[in-house]
Amino acid sequence: MDYQNKTAFITAGASGMGKRFAEQVVERGGNVVIADVDMAAANRLASELGGLAVECNVRSTEQVDAARDAALERFGNVDIVMSHAGITKASPIVNLTDDDWTVMFDLNVIGMARVLRAFIPHLTERGSGHVIMTTSSLALIPGHPLGPLTAHYIASKAAVIGLAQVTALALAPHDIGVTLFSPDLTKTNFGTPPPGVERPKGVMALERQTPEQAVDVLLDALDNGRFLASATPDYERLLAKQAAVLLDPLAFADEYPAPPSAAPAAETAAETTAATPEHAPATPTPAPQTQGA
Ligand SMILES: NC(=O)c1ccc[n+]([C@@H]2O[C@H](COP(=O)([O-])OP(=O)(O)OC[C@H]3O[C@@H](n4cnc5c(N)ncnc54)[C@H](O)[C@@H]3O)[C@@H](O)[C@H]2O)c1
């Protein structure tokens, strides 16, 4: 992909993989708009990279539209839209309230719809551009030990897969590409509990990639025109296995170590996430050392 003088609008751009992608765009000669709710971090990064920081809670149509307007005013065009914002919260499925489900889908799925709605007219009018939408390895490949404790997160990220496929079909006639970015568990602030709450043991062991590694996979997919940018090792075999077993998740039990004992893990997770603000991704539950994700 040619980044020279191109502008990338990145939701959740102030931290983790969004930040890493922003740095890479600038290194390759592009401009960046850091669209985030953490304005201290967004302003810091934008001034470092010579970009623009805009307040953009993807739960607000007004803020998304205003962020787009600010981006267009500053740079004239937006060429790359990275819809990366998402949250998680670990809790057993029976403890998830209507509000938990509503917040998760409003941010992780409808948040992406708001960003698409804001930018598609601009992209189609110009007949060029690229959209990146972030799902998760937990939704792409079934059977992860964290799965039963992140039901609404996985359901929302599965919805993102469908949304990205439909968007790719809708935008292809306009010469606008779509890439589905599927990070594996990655060492970022995702899953960091609020101040005063200890991070459960075991989670760190599951985070087996760095933002650099994950974003390298994304950059490679963008360079080579691949729809799927999956950072999960062995993802091609795992996707082929899903087809072979007709999506049966139970066939994936042998891909991972045994899950943690349910009761203590569930309690810790629920307590850990109770005080977590919606824009600060909550902590996953304790989990065993694992090779797969
Ligand atoms: N880190 C992982 O293990 C992992 C794995 C798979 C997928 N993901 C996906 O990556 C994204 C999280 O990003 P990360 O892990 O690269 O970094 P991160 O968790 O370090 O940063 C997330 C950023 O999102 C911002 N944010 C939170 N709520 C927002 C909102 N409502 N609107 C706009 N911005 C908001 C935060 O301020 C923060 O800057 C999510 O979509 C998540 O599903 C992460």
DSSP-assigned letters across all residues of 191-218: TPPPTT-PPPTTHHHH--B-HHHHHHHH
Q: Is the pLDDT of residue 11 over 50?
A: yes
Token reading at 143: 């059977």
Least confident of 21-25, 149-153, 195-199, 262-266: 262-266
**131 token code pair:** 């959209």
Instruction: For the chain, give the percent of residues with pLDDT over 90.
Output: 74
pLDDT of residue 106: 98
pLDDT-based confidence at residue 195 (cuts at 50, 70, 90): low
Amino acid identity of residue 19, one-letter, is K
Residue 16: the pLDDT is 97
Query: What is the SS3 assignment for 52?
Result: strand
Residue range 19-27: mean pLDDT, rounded: 98
**Nearest of 32, 35, 23, 42 to residue 5 by alpha carbon:** 32
212 lines ligand 1 (CB under 6 A): no
Q: Which of 21, 36, 83 to mutate to test the pocket of ligand 1 (most atoms within 8 A of CB)?
A: 36
154 CA distance to ligand 1 middle (Å): 14
Task: Decide: 39 and 234 in contact? Cβ < 8 Å.
Answer: no
Alpha-carbon span 13 to 35, nearest angstrom: 6
Helix residue ranges, H only, the chain = 16-27, 39-49, 61-75, 98-105, 111-126, 137-140, 151-171, 203-206, 211-224, 235-244, 262-274
Q: Which residues make Cβ contacts (< 8 Å) with residue 237, sequence separation at least 6?
A: none
| pLDDT tens-digit series, residues 111-166 | 999 999 999 999 999 999 999 999 999 999 998 888 888 999 999 999 999 999 99
* Catalytic status, residue 153: yes
Q: Which domains does the chain have, with CATH numbers?
A: 7-274 (3.40.50.720)
Residue 257 has pLDDT above 70, yes or no: no
Give me the numbers of helices (H) and strands (E) for the chain, helices first please: 11, 7
241 lines ligand 1 (CB under 6 A): no
- Residue 200 confidence (pLDDT) above 70: no
- Nearest atom (ligand 1) to Cα of 190: 19
Asked whether 138 and 154 are in contact (CB, 8 A), the reply is yes
* pLDDT for the residue 254: 80
Evaluate if residue 82 carries a pLDDT over 80.
yes
Band of pLDDT at residue 85, cut at 50, 70 and 90: very high
Per-residue pLDDT, averaged over 208-212, amounts to 91
Predicted confidence at residue 29, as pLDDT, reads 98
Atom of ligand 1 nearest to the CA of 57: 32
Least confident range of 57-66, 97-106, 184-193: 184-193
Tell me what percent of the residues of the chain surpass a pLDDT of 70.
82
Structure tokens at 55: 């307040």
Candidate from 19, 62, 182, 188 with most ligand 1 atoms within 8 A of CB, to mutate: 188
Residue 74 DSSP SS3:
helix
Question: Which residue bears the tokens 């760190």?
Answer: 204
Looking at every residue in the chain, the average pLDDT score rounds to: 86
Mean pLDDT of the 270-280 span: 32
- Is 269 exposed, middle or buried (CB count within 10 Å of its CB: 0-12, 13-18, 19+)? buried
HSE-CB of 278 using CA atoms within 13 angstroms:
13
Alpha-carbon distance of 182 to 161, in angstroms, equals 9
Give the pLDDT confidence score for residue 90 in this predicted structure: 87
Is 184 a residue whose pLDDT tops 80? yes
Q: Of 12-16, 59-63, 123-127, 257-261, which range is least confident?
A: 257-261
